[in-house]
C-alpha cells in the first residue's frame, strides 16, 4: 500500500512539472502558429446560426470570419455547452467566445474581454393576454420566473428577490411560460424579438419591460493579447462601414455601439 | 390538426439533422465496442493476475472507473489536459471531442466488461482445468482450447445488457458538446435552421434508440442461439 502511495505521489509531481513548462508568452502568436482561430458559439440567431447549406452565419459569425481574415488565419466554429464556456477557453478547446455574450462581472473576471459592440437588455416575457398587468417592476413581485441558470436574466431576477425556477436554456424558459409551469421568463431582448409574438412559435407570448440594459462583448483567455487586437479591428471596421453593413444584413443596426479608437 | 401539419412541414429538416447526429452516436458506439471488448479482456487478466501488485492496481483502477460517473470522466478526459497541463491534446473541433469521448467510453466500458469476463472465466468448474493438467495440457492451451468458448457463451447475456446500455449512454457525450442525436434534437427547442420552440424532435430521438436497440437485441439473441452448442 505504501509503495502505491509513493507511485501516486510521483505521478502527481510529474504532472505538476509539466504545468510549469508550457506557459505561452503570447496568445496571438499561439493562434497564428496554429493557423486557425477556434470560435466557441451556440446556435443563437441572429448572432450565430446555420444557413440552409450548414454554414455558420449571423452578425457575430460574419464578423468573426472577417477577424480571421484580418489575422490571416482560418476560422473554425465549434458549438459548445454555454455553461462550460470558461472551461472551454481555459482548456484551449476554443480560442474565443463570440456569441452575443453579455459582459457581466463574472465574465469580465474570468476572461479577457473586448470593448462592448452591441446593446442588449433583459426583458420579461409573459402570456400576451396578461401583458397589460405587468408593465412595472412592482407588478412582478407575485410571479414565478423561469430563467436560464447562470444567465444575466437570473442575476436580475435574484437581485430583485423574485421567485424563480432555473432552467437549462433561455429556450427552456420560454417553454415553461408557454406550458404555464412558470408565470414569466426573463431572456435577452434580441432573442425575445426573434422568438416570441406573431409569426413565431410562441404567438401567445409577448415581452414587456426591460429589467436592465447590458452590452455584448467577445471573450478571450485571461491575459490574451487578442482582445486588444480585436478592439483595433472593430474600430477599423466601424470606420470603413463594414460593421454597420453586416449589422444591416441581420437587422441589428439599431443595437450596434459605435467603435472609437482609444485616446 | 395544425400540430401534425407543422410536424410534417418540419420533418425533412429535422430528419436530416437527426440522421447526422445519429451517425455520430453510431460512430461512438462502434468505436467503443471495438476498443472496449479486447481491452476488457486484458484488464480481466490483470485483475486475476497472480502477481499481487498488478492485481491490486488493476482492481483499484476498475474500482475508480466503476465508482465515478461517466459524465465526470468525460469532463476530466476532455478538459484536464488543457486546463492543468496547459496543452490541449485533443485538437480543435468536432474530431477532438470525438477522440476524447471515445477514449473515455472505451476505458469505462472496458472496466465493466473486464468484470463480466472475470465472472465468465472463474465460473468454469475447476475440474476442467485439473483434467486438462492431468492430460498434459499447458495453461495457455487450457485457456484457449477449453475455457474460452465456454466463457464466450456464458457472457453473451450480461455483455448484451451492457451493449444496450452503451447505446443510450452515448448521449452523455453531449456534456463535452459532441453533437450526437440528442444534441441534434434539442437544438430545435432553442432554434436551429429556422425551427424554434419545437420539442417533438427531442422526443423523436427515442425512436432512433429503440430501433437500433431492437436490431441489436435481435442480433445478440441469434448469437446466443448459435453458441448453444457448447452446452
State the CATH number of the domain containing residue B162.
Answer: 1.10.3720.10
What value does the mean pLDDT of chain A take? 87
Confidence (pLDDT) at A246: 94
Find the distance separating the first CA and the last CA of chain A, reported in whole Å: 64
Contact A194 B191 (CB under 8 A): yes
CA atoms within 13 A on the CB side of A17: 6
Taking a contact as any Cβ pair under 8 Å apart, which residues of chain A between 43 and 62 contact chain B? 43-45, 49-50, 52
Please give the model's pTM, rounded to 2 decimal places.
Answer: 0.77
Q: How far does the CA of residue B99 sit from the closest CA of chain A (Å)? A: 13
Predicted confidence (pLDDT) per residue in B52-97, tens digit: 999 999 999 999 999 999 999 999 999 888 888 877 888 777 788 8
Does one domain contain both A243 and A209? no
> Is A137 found in the same domain as A31?
no
Closest partner CB to B190 (pick from A43, A50, A78):
A43
The span from the CA of A57 to the CA of A60, in Å, is 8
Which residues in chain A are closer than 8 Å to B83, comparing Cβ atoms? 87, 90-91
Lowest mean pLDDT among A67-76, A99-108, A184-193, B80-89: B80-89
Task: Count how many domains chain B has.
Answer: 1
* Integer angstrom CA distances of residue A125 from A134, A186, B84: 10, 6, 42
Predicted local confidence at residue A21, as pLDDT? 46
| Residue A69 belongs to some domain of the structure | yes
Q: Is the same domain home to A107 and A161? A: no
- Tell me the CATH number at A107: 3.40.190.10
Domain membership of residue B140 as a residue range: 2-230
Task: Tell me, yes or no, whether A47 lies in a domain.
Answer: yes
Find chain B residues with C-beta within 8 A of A36's C-beta: 92
In this structure, are A115 and A221 located in the same domain? Answer: yes
pLDDT-derived band of residue A20, with 50, 70 and 90 as boundaries? very low
Q: Report residue A2's pLDDT band, with 50, 70 and 90 as the boundaries.
A: low
Interface test with A, best of B7, B171, B184, B196 (most A CBs within 10 A): B196
Mean pLDDT of A86-96: 93
Query: Which range of residues forms the domain containing residue A97?
Result: 26-119+216-255
- pLDDT tier at A1 (50, 70, 90 boundaries)? low
Please, what is the average pLDDT of chain B?
91
Q: What is the mean pLDDT of residues B172-178?
A: 89
Residue A4 touches partner B, C-beta closer than 8 Å: yes
Question: What's the grid cell of residue A172?
Answer: 427552456
Strands A96-102 and A36-41: parallel
Predicted confidence at residue A12, as pLDDT, reads 61
| Closest-CA distance of chain B to residue A248, Å | 19
- Whether residue A71 is found in the same domain as residue A35: yes
Work out how many domains chain A is built from and give that number.
2
Q: Residues A115, A134: one domain?
A: no
Please check the confidence at residue A200 and state whether its pLDDT lies above 90. Answer: no
Q: CA of A62, closest CA in chain B: separation in Å?
A: 17
Residue A166 confidence (pLDDT): 85
| Percent of chain A whose predicted confidence (pLDDT) is above 90 | 55
A249 lies in some domain: yes
Q: Hey, of A18, A24, A44, A93, which one would you mutate to test binding to chain B, going by the most B CBs within 10 A of its CB?
A: A93
Q: A246 lies in a domain?
A: yes
Q: What is the pLDDT of residues A22-68, one digit of tens each?
A: 455 799 999 999 999 999 999 888 899 888 888 999 999 999 999 99
Answer yes or no: do B189 and A172 touch at CB < 8 A. Answer: yes
What is the secondary structure of chain A as a DSSP string? -HHHHHHHHHHHHHHHHHHHHT--S-HHHHHHHHTEEEEEE--BTTTBEE-TTS-EESHHHHHHHHHHHHHT-EEEEEE--GGGHHHHHHTTS-SEEEEEEE--HHHHHHEEE----EEEEEEEEEEGGGGGG--SSGGGTT-EEEEETTSHHHHHHHHTT-EEEEESSHHHHHHHHHHTSSSEEEEEHHHHHHHBSTTSSBTTEEEEEEEEEEEEEEEEETT-THHHHHHHHHHHHHHTTHHHHHHHHTT-GGGBPPP----
pLDDT of residue A176: 84
Q: Do B92 and A18 touch (CB under 8 A)?
A: no
What does each C-alpha distance from A41 to A79, A126, B14, B206 come to in angstroms? 5, 28, 21, 27
Question: Could you read off the pLDDT of B192-212 as tens digits, one per residue?
Answer: 777 777 889 999 999 999 999
Work out the average pLDDT over B29-54. Answer: 96
For residue B14, give the nearest of B178, B177, B174, B193 by alpha carbon: B193
Is residue A15 domain-resident?
no
Amino acid at each position: 500500500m505504501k509503495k502505491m502511495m509513493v507511485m501516486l505521489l510521483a505521478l502527481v509531481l510529474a504532472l505538476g512539472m509539466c504545468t510549469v513548462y508550457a506557459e505561452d508568452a503570447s496568445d496571438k502568436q499561439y493562434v497564428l502558429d496554429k493557423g486557425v482561430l477556434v470560435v466557441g458559439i451556440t446556435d443563437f440567431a441572429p448572432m450565430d446560426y446555420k444557413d440552409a447549406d450548414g454554414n455558420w452565419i449571423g452578425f457575430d459569425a460574419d464578423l468573426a470570419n472577417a477577424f480571421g481574415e484580418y489575422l490571416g488565419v482560418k476560422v473554425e466554429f465549434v458549438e459548445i455547452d454555454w455553461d462550460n464556456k470558461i472551461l472551454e477557453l481555459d482548456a484551449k478547446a476554443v480560442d474565443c467566445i463570440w456569441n452575443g455574450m453579455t459582459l457581466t462581472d463574472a465574465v469580465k473576471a474570468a476572461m479577457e474581454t473586448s470593448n462592448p459592440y452591441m446593446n442588449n437588455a433583459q426583458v420579461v416575457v409573459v402570456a400576451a393576454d396578461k401583458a397589460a398587468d405587468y408593465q412595472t417592476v412592482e407588478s412582478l413581485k407575485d410571479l414565478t420566473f423561469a430563467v436560464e441558470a447562470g444567465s444575466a436574466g437570473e442575476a436580475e431576477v435574484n437581485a430583485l428577490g423574485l421567485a424563480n425556477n432555473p432552467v437549462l436554456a433561455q429556450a427552456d424558459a420560454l417553454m415553461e411560460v408557454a406550458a404555464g409551469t412558470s408565470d414569466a421568463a426573463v431572456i435577452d431582448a434580441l432573442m425575445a424579438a426573434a422568438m416570441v409574438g406573431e409569426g413565431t412559435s410562441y404567438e401567445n407570448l409577448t415581452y414587456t419591460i426591460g429589467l436592465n440594459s447590458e452590452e455584448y462583448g467577445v471573450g478571450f483567455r485571461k491575459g490574451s493579447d487578442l482582445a486588444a487586437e480585436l478592439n483595433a479591428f472593430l474600430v477599423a471596421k466601424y470606420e470603413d462601414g463594414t460593421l454597420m453593413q453586416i449589422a444591416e444584413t441581420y437587422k441589428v443596426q439599431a443595437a450596434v455601439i459605435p467603435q472609437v479608437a482609444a485616446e | 390538426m395544425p400540430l401534425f401539419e407543422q410536424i410534417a412541414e418540419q420533418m425533412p429538416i429535422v430528419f436530416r439533422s437527426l440522421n447526422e447526429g445519429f451517425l455520430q452516436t453510431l460512430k461512438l458506439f462502434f468505436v467503443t465496442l471495438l476498443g472496449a471488448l479486447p481491452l476488457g479482456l486484458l484488464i480481466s487478466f490483470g485483475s486475476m493476475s497472480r502477481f499481487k501488485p498488478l492485481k491490486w492496481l488493476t482492481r483499484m483502477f476498475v474500482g475508480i472507473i466503476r465508482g465515478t460517473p461517466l459524465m465526470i470522466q468525460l469532463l476530466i478526459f476532455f478538459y484536464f489536459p488543457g486546463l492543468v497541463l496547459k496543452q490541449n491534446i485533443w485538437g480543435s473541433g468536432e474530431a477532438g471531442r470525438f477522440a476524447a469521448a471515445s477514449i473515455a467510453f472505451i476505458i469505462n466500458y472496458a472496466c465493466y466488461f473486464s468484470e463480466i469476463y472475470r465472472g465468465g472465466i472463474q465460473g468454469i468448474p475447476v475440474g476442467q482445468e485439473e483434467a486438462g493438467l492431468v492430460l498434459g495440457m499447458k495453461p495457455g492451451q487450457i485457456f484457449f482450447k477449453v475455457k474460452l468458448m465456454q466463457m464466450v457463451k456464458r457472457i453473451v447475456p450480461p455483455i448484451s445488457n451492457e451493449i444496450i446500455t452503451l447505446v443510450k449512454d452515448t448521449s452523455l457525450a453531449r456534456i463535452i458538446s459532441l453533437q450526437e442525436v440528442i444534441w441534434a434534437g434539442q437544438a430545435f427547442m432553442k432554434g436551429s435552421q429556422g425551427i424554434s420552440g419545437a420539442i417533438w424532435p427531442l422526443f423523436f430521438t427515442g425512436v432512433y434508440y429503440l430501433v437500433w436497440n431492437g436490431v441489436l437485441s435481435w442480433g445478440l439473441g441469434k448469437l446466443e442461439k448459435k453458441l448453444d452448442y457448447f452446452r
